[in-house]
Structure 1
């Protein structure tokens, strides 16, 4: 199969998942779109050379690296917030409040800590897989996860219960 066709099929199949991961990292739809586009630019340049590399792991590594590197370049003191969901019903008010509290707490973590939490708990990757995606050691992933969860417990103690028991 032609590499260009493979690239189009991969982007078509995995684009939505990459956008969701980018949103979880950035907390903003526009910033997430920019991050995904930067990732695609790097991916397209390197696609012909990537050969037998697992494209999923390869593109995720680019996404997370671009996120962390981009933050370092910009030195943002705050990350923008996304708009709350439109029209929550009375039954959803508590869930929306929890989500907004968690978003605010996640925005106060370092980019690497957010990336580790997204990889471990949203992407459901093992410590070794998360380490490979970030280009660090599994021990760094363990320590970053521990520190990030401790910080989340300080910032949003009532909301972090969904993470309880997930840390190993």
Structure 2
């Protein structure tokens, strides 16, 4: 099999600017990818890489690269979800009994939340991440996910109810945030 290599002439200043952006923003983009994919490291890496590849192709024309790449990530995750279809629940082993003093309450909640988010659908996860992690208003989320504000509201409500069902220990934390 023969592959031809596509040669693209790139301005060195543009390439340097893109490299600096990727270097500076990769950790934050990986955290977002991790949240959007329900904690799957490999899927998060694929999501960030796909978004950065799309950004690289339009680097000169993009005024706000951070916002642009995040938008790509949100939409790409929804596209993958629609293409692949809904996945079954993620099977996880029971967590070990809680040791007495070597864990904090926050880290326990983070682990429970990560596992619960992984059991939501990608669309439910995306809505919750955008609403509570990114702190975006409902109308902006609706625009990003190409749905109505009512759909965002109902998905948020159902997603929080599902989180309460999956992880009852989060109920007190979810009451504070809603």
TM interval, short-chain normalised:
0.7 to 0.9
**Which of 113, 116, 120 is matched with 1:109 structurally?**
120
What is the correspondence of 1:90-101 to structure 2 with a 5 Å cutoff? 90-92=101-103, 94-101=105-112
Partner Cα distance (1:107, 1:24) in 2: 9
**1:25-77 residue CA offsets vs partner (Å, 9 max, x unmatched):** 22122221111111111221233343x4x322221111011112223333332
Normalised to the residue count of structure 1, the TM-score between the two structures is: 0.78
Contact 1:131–1:138 (8 Å) recurs in 2: yes
Q: Which runs of 5+ in 1 are unaligned?
A: none
Q: Distance in 1 between matches of 2:104 and 2:145?
A: 35
* Offset, 1:20: 0.2
> 2:166 is matched with which residue: 129, 151, 155?
155
Is contact 1:28–1:80 with CA below 8 Å preserved after alignment?
Answer: no
Match of 1:120 in 2: 131
* Cα deviation, residue 93, structure 1: 6.1
Gaps of 5+ in 2: 1-10
Q: Which residue is equivalent to 2:60?
A: 48
- Give, in angstroms, the shift of residue 79 of structure 1: 4.9
Give 1 or 2 for the bigger CA radius of gyration: 2
Match of 1:14 among 16, 25, 48: 25
TM superposition outliers: structure 1 runs of 4+ over 6 Å: none
- For these two proteins, the number of residue pairs brought into alignment is 160
Is the 8 Å Cα contact of residues 60 and 133 (structure 1) preserved in structure 2?
no
Q: CA separation of 1:95/1:136 partners in 2, compared to 1, >3 Å: closer, same or farther?
A: same
The offset of 1:161, in angstroms, is 2.6
